Structure 1
Amino acid sequence: MASTSSSSTTTQWNPNYDVLISDSEDDDDETKPNYKGREALIFVLDANLYEEYERFSEALDIVRKALISGLLVNSKDLIGIVFANTAKNTDPYEASSLDNIVVPQNCAVFLPLRELSKSIVEHYLRFMETVEQEFGADYGIVGNGGNSDFSAMLRLCINLFENAGYNLVSSTLVYLTDRATPATPHPKTSNLYQRALQKAKDLEGKEIEFQVVPMIDEFDYEPFYKEFLTLVEDGDIDAFEPRNPEELRVLLSDRKLRQNVLRRSLGRFKFSLGPDLLVSVQYYNYFKARFMPRKVRLLRKDNSIVQQKRVIMVRKQSQETMDIVEEQQVKQSGGWYEINLGEMSIRITPEQINRVRNLHAPGMMLLGFKPISDLPENWYYKPQNFMYPDDKNISGSKRLFRALWERCLIREKMAICLFMRKRKSIPRYVALVPVEAGDSEGNTSRALLSGDGFKIIYLPFAKHIRDIDFANWNSMQNEAPEEGVQVFTKVVGKLRTEFQSNSLVDPTVEALQSNILALALDIKTDNAGLSGMPDTKRQDERIAKILPRLNEIFGEDAEVVKKRGAADSSGGNAPKVPKVDVDHLKDIIYIKQLANNDTLSSCTIAQLRDILKSHFDVKAPSHWKKQDLIERVKNLIV
């Protein structure tokens, strides 16, 4: 038979950078993101912004950018727009969609939760054209800068989320305002203040993310917004740290960058710190990966889809004629692998193989600590991940994780661990490097996305490392001395910049976006190439101390003298004159003489194309060079 086939004063993790993920029934299974639902986002604009129209215009422009960016990236997302503190309740776009929703006073729904489309964006753009003159008459403001019931606005947004008609994988409520202390939504001693705090617990229970985006740089969160946001995030009010309003506005306007990336868990596992000491953690990507279409294999004859199935066939062969006597199909669990050792036959079942492959459960085990200085700046081996605590499976994981992170950060140590990310995978050695928010130079947006945590760096094995002698590499053309190579290594290190999707963009994608906006929405953008490139002056300052050393090793660069063009009698450059008689080119006999004398090269490219078109009715492709045109003329004459 044969078959084929440390001491820490912090009591919990920082709630500002906390990550909330729904629980899983199987802790050992890899948690995959839920892509069956859709993301919903409601913009709530405070009508009091209209009193300072520049702020109101900036808020409207943020929403415009988010609409256009969402339309280009993922039009399946649901976006709604609500105006708060309005005197009138004007009918929204598609008013019939609010039949089952009671809109409270001093609130107006401009756009219910809808899929993004060209008509919706155009409707919003038309609104922006007349908003400065007509907003006061159409919507108005409550009293003289007064404030309406904040809890009623929250109840309206919750009803919009619940009546969206789709399974929502995430719900976000963004409140754009410029009213801080003392003009909080309600006085601290009023009943409306307490009702608003009760709605904060409702948002936390329904897993609705709430964000306050101040339209002014100096915004005081005391006392209302500090307590309100703490209740929504279920965090400690003493650990509350307000975010930079300017950064929040930048992140909100670019939805291509931020799509709730911290909620996109790659998997959860248990981190073993020692005997009977486990911490529940999860790991993430820096940014959400792009969705790519699946490959479809088609037959050439009828374009039908090729379907592949894994089949295990068992065949019995005749020892005399070697013909197949018996053949049957078995299930994967019923098959086996057979090894012949002399006269002995050994059968191995798939269950035995799986037991060998599953010697270790998915997880991470701490091996020891090393100084961070021992780690090279970059391992070009495998993309890095981020690790955060999860207090739902093991109580106290956040506190212990925070203590470990702080001690590693203070002592500048990294943890060396053995990591097996999922079942049937290969265990890998990783380094956990502590990273705190805002430690990267000028990288404030990345800090908001990543926060404090451990960066998982995959350590390569010996087979992944190549020892290349750059001094002797390609020695026929590389005559640089060893000290010159070392100096240029320092230059490259000084000029190296970390890739950020919010600052360095793909010029092809930017050009495509510009063309789409121009054709679909009649919006012309200035696309001057890559935006957010590193500052050249700053780069010059970084390598200023190394430049004298370069001149000592390689010498001064010789300045290349430009060639002067031939000048005519008037002092200007002489234009290019054809070397053949243009009138004679209309005669085919004259062209044959040029071909026989091998003097077709005296014709210009335009003349050669005209010869092919007029005499031979041949249209030459635009990428043909002069020599290709000459060869084509000769072949046609012969």
Structure 2
Amino acid sequence: MASIRSSASTTNWNPSYDVLCSDSEDDDDETKPNYKGREALIFVLDANLYEEYERFVVALDIVRKALISGLLVNSKDLIGIVFANTAKNTDPYEASSLDNIVVPPNCAVFLPLRELSKSIVEHYLRFMETAEQGFGVDYGIVGNGGNSDFSVMLRLCINLFENAGYNLVSSTLVYLTDRATPHPTTSNLYQRALQKAKDLEGKEIEFQLVPMVDEFDYEPFYKEFLTLVEDGDIEAFDPRNPEELRTLLSDRKLRQNVLRRSLGHFKLSLGPDLFISVQYYNYFRARFMPRKVRLLRKDNSIVQQKRVIMVRKQSQETMDIVEEHQVKQSGGWYEINLGDMPIRITPEQINRVRNLHAPGMMLLGFKSISEMPENWYYKPQNFMYPDDKGISGSKRLFRALWERCMAREKIAICLLMRKRKSIPRYVALLPVEGGDPEGDTSRPLLSGDGFKIIYLPFAKHIRNIDFTDWNTMQNEAPEEGVQVFEKIVGKLRTKFQSNLLVDPTVEALQSNILALALNIKTDSAGLSGMPDTKRQDERIAKILPRLNEIFGEDAESPKKRAASAKTGGNATKVPKLDVDSLKQLNYVEQLAKNDTLSSCTIAQLCDILKTHFDVQVPLRSKKQDLIDRVKDLID
């Protein structure tokens, strides 16, 4: 789906015309990012899905997961639910909220834009329980092929956004359907729907299409419609995998507003008196985590922490406090006594020492890309884009630096200080081209040309492991066997998918909250992003016969004898180790070194003493005495 991918078109840049040239002093106030406000999301479900009830159930379940995820992550966001192509216009939840909105025919508002709460989620869950029979009775499907005016539905959603009652930083309309076009291509309604796309683009409302079928045809209508909404190039339209879109929507993985997605802004110093203005972002989608809340054990009230600085004056004679008052943090001081001389240090002086360097990035030099390892498992990477709002011409200079690095296959080594009072880090700027790698579901948040910020580890973060002395006991394999196992590792290797990896602790917390609040029991079987074992077996099925040819068949371990029914005693113990291996002194020394002689039986220990050390001991000896005797003789 192009709506998520091409969403970065607002942040992509073209240096030929995307340069701000203005001398007005008021421009800075207008270009400051607005972080205040809420996100609004409206789910529009096509009632035609009800004819294929299995698809309708999947669509309802997607909305259910999104509601629960939004309730757990950020309940301040506004979410609404609308049914399109309905025969009846049933009153919604909190019908009084639609007093200023005219609901057109063939549309039904199930939930106006509201903050999520437990009562709203429970209301939707009750609707899902009776949807199989109740939806046809309460809403129904409009006749004439089930197609109503698509533009009227869009007008209703625009009115819902405008009458939300909050300052919205982003507005997203998600349309779930299985129809390739809402109207025949020769009808007037078809042209009206395309005209409405420009209204969405003018209102800065993002339209996301989520097909409920795996094979969906965008050509009849939605290819042109999505291109008009995003003000993009129809030739560059590249639809996304519908199955993946449904998964992302269930996990509430919708695109954040670019101003809120930016992690920070700093200046990149390229030389004396030469700076460019840049912003950096998360390179991968960040997993939403619940906020930590500290509660009192007695009444479960939220603990609020406050830092208070009190100044007290004591009497020299009685040592009683004669004066006490509160001061601000900037009004306090630190006192050091050097003999009889007290020295006071103010917080401003300490901050001046801490802030010797302003936050920013400084270019140190260039290295060949071939010297950069494929992966540094040290710190998550970031992505860097230019920003002309701070320094005019930054995008042109940034583009020139990027093209030069790409042409010469170089990486830029820089010193980065992300924020005040932080530790400076060495980073490598790796130039990357825009566009998602084919088949990679861990796409970067932003598309376009830019630099990937790779954090370089210090010497203390790098470990050298010598594998020559590691696991030397019977650790030999032929060259053919090593090559076969390299193929197996290649077949079983999976790509990192950050949007599917779930923290098991957070997953368990979510299941407990749902069970307590909404009486929903979930199966916590571990990480939900683990690969399918059956699919892995199919991948290596052709290689397994080659393994048997090289290493032979795996010998089955001898089973323990069943206990006698007459005596009811234990079965005779089977030797834990192969007797032939114990005839080698090196093997016995390795067992003693690994402190695993206890796995031998008493008879085997006696045989070791007799074979290697010519020591005869009675079989009645204790096992620990025999182990100590073997260790003493080896030492």
1:493-546 deviation line (CA, Å, top 9, x unaligned): 96776654433334454455456556655655554443332355659859979x
Which residue type is aligned with residue 216 of structure 1? V
Partner Cα distance (2:499, 2:175) in 1 = 23
Corresponding residue for residue 465 of structure 1:
461
Give 1:1-16 correspondences, 5 Å limit: 15-16=6-7
1:247 Cα deviation from its structure 2 partner: 1.8
Q: Find the partner of 1:284 among 282, 285, 292.
A: 282
Corresponding residue for residue 254 of structure 1:
251
1:430 Cα deviation from its structure 2 partner: 0.8
Corresponding residue for residue 502 of structure 1:
499
Give 1:301-340 correspondences, 5 Å limit: 307-310=306-309
Is 1:114 paired with 2:105? no
Give 1:283-432 correspondences, 5 Å limit: 283-284=281-282, 286=284, 287-288=286-287, 290-293=289-292, 307-310=306-309, 357-358=354-355, 360-390=357-387, 392-393=389-390, 413-432=410-429
1:409 Cα deviation from its structure 2 partner: 6.1
Corresponding residue for residue 612 of structure 1:
none
Corresponding residue for residue 88 of structure 1:
88
Alignment check: 8 A CA contact 1:268 1:283 kept: no
1:277 Cα deviation from its structure 2 partner: 6.1
Partner Cα distance (2:79, 2:189) in 1 = 35
Q: Secondary structure, in 3 states, of the residue corresponding to 1:447?
A: coil
1:402 Cα deviation from its structure 2 partner: 6.4
1:373 Cα deviation from its structure 2 partner: 3.6
1:395 Cα deviation from its structure 2 partner: 6.2
Is 1:179 paired with 2:179? yes
Corresponding residue for residue 264 of structure 1:
261
How has the CA–CA distance of structure 1 residues 566 and 172 changed in structure 2, closer, same or farther, with 3 Å as cutoff? same
Partner Cα distance (1:538, 1:407) in 2 = 43
The TM-score with structure 2 as length reference comes to: 0.66
Q: Find the partner of 1:563 among 560, 563, 572.
A: 560
1:92 Cα deviation from its structure 2 partner: 1.1
Which residue type is aligned with residue 534 of structure 1? P
Which residue type is aligned with residue 180 of structure 1? A
The TM-score with structure 1 as length reference comes to: 0.65
Corresponding residue for residue 203 of structure 2:
203
Root mean square deviation of aligned Cα: 5.4
Give 1:115-194 correspondences, 5 Å limit: 115-145=115-145, 147-180=147-180, 183=183, 192-193=192-193
1:109 Cα deviation from its structure 2 partner: 0.2
1:174 Cα deviation from its structure 2 partner: 0.7
1:211 Cα deviation from its structure 2 partner: 1.1
Alignment check: 8 A CA contact 1:503 1:532 kept: yes
Which residue type is aligned with residue 417 of structure 2? M
Give 1:54-93 correspondences, 5 Å limit: 54-93=54-93
Partner Cα distance (1:298, 1:58) in 2 = 41
1:350 Cα deviation from its structure 2 partner: 6.3
Alignment check: 8 A CA contact 1:381 1:460 kept: yes
Alignment check: 8 A CA contact 1:186 1:193 kept: no
How has the CA–CA distance of structure 1 residues 362 and 209 changed in structure 2, closer, same or farther, with 3 Å as cutoff? farther
1:108 Cα deviation from its structure 2 partner: 1.0
1:122-165 deviation line (CA, Å, top 9, x unaligned): 43334334434443443344441364444432332233234334
Alignment check: 8 A CA contact 1:296 1:305 kept: no
1:196 Cα deviation from its structure 2 partner: 0.4
1:42 Cα deviation from its structure 2 partner: 0.8
Partner Cα distance (2:303, 2:190) in 1 = 69
Percent pairwise identity: 69
Which residue type is aligned with residue 532 of structure 1? G
Corresponding residue for residue 609 of structure 2:
none
Which residue type is aligned with residue 466 of structure 2? F
Alignment check: 8 A CA contact 2:211 2:242 kept: yes
Is 1:447 paired with 2:443? yes
Partner Cα distance (1:78, 1:27) in 2 = 30
How has the CA–CA distance of structure 1 residues 504 and 441 changed in structure 2, closer, same or farther, with 3 Å as cutoff? farther
How has the CA–CA distance of structure 1 residues 281 and 308 changed in structure 2, closer, same or farther, with 3 Å as cutoff? closer
1:61 Cα deviation from its structure 2 partner: 2.6
Partner Cα distance (1:575, 1:506) in 2 = 47
Which residue type is aligned with residue 291 of structure 2? M
1:566-586 deviation line (CA, Å, top 9, x unaligned): 1325xxx95899xxxxxxxxx
Q: Secondary structure, in 3 states, of the residue corresponding to 1:460?
A: coil
1:62-108 deviation line (CA, Å, top 9, x unaligned): 21222233334444443211012333211112212212222123221
Alignment check: 8 A CA contact 1:268 1:280 kept: yes
Corresponding residue for residue 211 of structure 2:
214
Alignment check: 8 A CA contact 2:330 2:348 kept: yes
Partner Cα distance (2:134, 2:357) in 1 = 67
Partner Cα distance (2:334, 2:524) in 1 = 61
Q: Find the partner of 1:17 among 8, 28, 36.
A: 8
Choose 73-82 or 189-198, whichever is displaced more: 189-198
Partner Cα distance (2:216, 2:389) in 1 = 34
Corresponding residue for residue 588 of structure 1:
none
Alignment check: 8 A CA contact 1:415 1:431 kept: yes
1:252 Cα deviation from its structure 2 partner: 0.6
Partner Cα distance (2:129, 2:230) in 1 = 37
1:422-457 deviation line (CA, Å, top 9, x unaligned): 23433321112345678668542x216454554322
How has the CA–CA distance of structure 1 residues 388 and 363 changed in structure 2, closer, same or farther, with 3 Å as cutoff? same
Which residue type is aligned with residue 307 of structure 2? Q
Corresponding residue for residue 607 of structure 2:
none
Partner Cα distance (1:519, 1:283) in 2 = 36
Which residue type is aligned with residue 201 of structure 1? E
How has the CA–CA distance of structure 1 residues 273 and 305 changed in structure 2, closer, same or farther, with 3 Å as cutoff? closer
Alignment check: 8 A CA contact 2:488 2:540 kept: no
Which residue type is aligned with residue 160 of structure 2? L
1:189-208 deviation line (CA, Å, top 9, x unaligned): 9762464034223321xxx3
Q: Secondary structure, in 3 states, of the residue corresponding to 1:145?
A: helix
Partner Cα distance (1:340, 1:118) in 2 = 59
Corresponding residue for residue 627 of structure 1:
none
How has the CA–CA distance of structure 1 residues 563 and 169 changed in structure 2, closer, same or farther, with 3 Å as cutoff? farther
Partner Cα distance (1:414, 1:60) in 2 = 48
How has the CA–CA distance of structure 1 residues 471 and 108 changed in structure 2, closer, same or farther, with 3 Å as cutoff? same
Alignment check: 8 A CA contact 2:172 2:207 kept: yes
Partner Cα distance (1:406, 1:57) in 2 = 50
1:552-604 deviation line (CA, Å, top 9, x unaligned): 9xx998764332231325xxx95899xxxxxxxxxxxxxxxxxxxxxxxxxxx
Alignment check: 8 A CA contact 1:89 1:139 kept: yes
Alignment check: 8 A CA contact 1:471 1:480 kept: no
How has the CA–CA distance of structure 1 residues 117 and 221 changed in structure 2, closer, same or farther, with 3 Å as cutoff? same
Number of aligned residue pairs? 535
How has the CA–CA distance of structure 1 residues 308 and 520 changed in structure 2, closer, same or farther, with 3 Å as cutoff? closer
